[in-house]
Structure 1
């Protein structure tokens, strides 16, 4: 079995360097965790790219919640995505729901066009969707979509573990819509890892778990290393 991916949330270059030192494979770069992660400034993206050698995925999200926003807000987000892409960002995180709880296909397709085939993660908006299987089926084959970040439930992995295990089985069977990698995250604890690994989940995402002193303190390399050891074991 190949080494599982460990993705760590970073807010700046200090976090990024600490996560890499602890054994992270990839970063999710955001700002404003009070809003659950928004698009970071371009200068932060540049600083992180200069500080580390591991891949980073940049959040494309203008406001708290999972709506694309009004035309002005979304146009500004598309412009920022284009600027980030022009400056060398190569991987992204995004996800929008329509009022009916389904995927906002118009917004997703427009932003996917802007990032021009780059690889991207559909984030935990899936955990708030009216029909998560239907969302996967409707997004099947979208260019660049290679990962779903999900806890299996809006309440977190404790509540959604059975969903994650079932979806891992559907992915293993080759069911349409389940080709993108499942990245478990959202209240993820070390105790969840053995069952998820046994089910074939190969990607894991941590935020607060990498910060034993809370979000006001930087990522702790030792905390990341604990996760690295657990996943590799």
Structure 2
């Protein structure tokens, strides 16, 4: 069985690294530390220019839940338009209502705005009160795949649900396990669930090239501004070798 490995990145530097390591598709994000947020227009455009594999941009205007205000929705629709204009191959979307069901109006509007772009529904599915009803909705709207941990914290803890999802969709909708996927568990997840795609970041850090450093002043919640997050090619290559072994 051929298994595609999607790699999520949050810097242009990581894109050729992931591609060279054998990634079959990129999920383009900013701020992976918060679960992935929408990339800037410039970042989208640069990624589309340098990539030789499909690039899907996540459409997520803020961290936290997937219950979006009208302002959030307006931003997401504009960001989908931007993704299309900048040359991305697809978008990664999701929205829920307060009761934990897919927000049909918002998701339908995003699909329409995508206007032919490929569509992945992201891990909002893992916060759904009725995930199999959500799968029915997504299949009826011709979404390509769902990124999911099987409603668990990690994909290797949600394998029973992932397998049930794969069987339920019966090829009409791809189920792509993600969250906590590694070279050590990727083959087990794929073999048990029957999934044909898998998702990971394979993150590591490299040292900043700055010579002058003021270690006292830090941005955000990190310990240092001089550890740069990048994709680890060895992690990606080992995960690919595992699932194709």
Is the contact between residue 68 and residue 74 of structure 1 (CA under 8 Å) also seen in structure 2? no
C-alpha RMSD of matched pairs (Å):
1.9
2:237 paired with 1:225 = yes
Following superposition of structure 1 onto structure 2, how do residues 109-188 of structure 1 map, counting pairs within 5 Å? 109-143=108-142, 145-171=143-169, 174=170, 179-188=172-181
Q: Calculate the TM-score normalised by the size of structure 2.
A: 0.85
Give the corresponding residue for 2:98.
Answer: 99
Give the corresponding residue for 1:26.
Answer: 25
What SS does the corresponding residue of 2:111 show, helix, strand or coil? helix
2:203 paired with 1:211 = yes
Structure 1 spans left out of the alignment, 5+ residues? none
Q: Give distance in 2, aligned partners of 1:40 and 1:32.
A: 9
Is the contact between residue 132 and residue 165 of structure 2 (CA under 8 Å) also seen in structure 1? no
Over alpha carbons, which structure has the higher Rg?
2
What SS does the corresponding residue of 1:13 show, helix, strand or coil? coil
Listed one character per residue, the Cα deviations across residues 4-51 of structure 1 (whole Å, up to 9, x for unaligned) are 110001112210000001110000000122321111001111111222
Q: CA deviation at 1:204?
A: 0.5
More helix by share: 1
Give the corresponding residue for 1:14.
Answer: 13
Q: CA deviation at 1:187?
A: 1.4
Give the corresponding residue for 2:82.
Answer: 83
What SS does the corresponding residue of 2:13 show, helix, strand or coil? helix
Q: Give distance in 1, aligned partners of 2:186 and 2:6.
A: 16
Q: Calculate the TM-score normalised by the size of structure 1.
A: 0.89
What SS does the corresponding residue of 1:218 show, helix, strand or coil? strand
What SS does the corresponding residue of 2:140 show, helix, strand or coil? coil
Q: Give distance in 2, aligned partners of 1:220 and 1:119.
A: 26
* Matched positions, count: 224
What SS does the corresponding residue of 1:8 show, helix, strand or coil? strand
Q: Give distance in 1, aligned partners of 2:74 and 2:167.
A: 38
What SS does the corresponding residue of 2:180 show, helix, strand or coil? coil
Structure 2 spans left out of the alignment, 5+ residues? 207-226
Q: Give distance in 1, aligned partners of 2:116 and 2:40.
A: 22
Specify which structure has the bigger relative contact order, considering alpha-carbon pairs within 8 angstroms and separated by 6 or more residues: 1
Q: Give distance in 2, aligned partners of 1:68 and 1:166.
A: 26
What SS does the corresponding residue of 1:106 show, helix, strand or coil? helix
Give the corresponding residue for 1:193.
Answer: 187
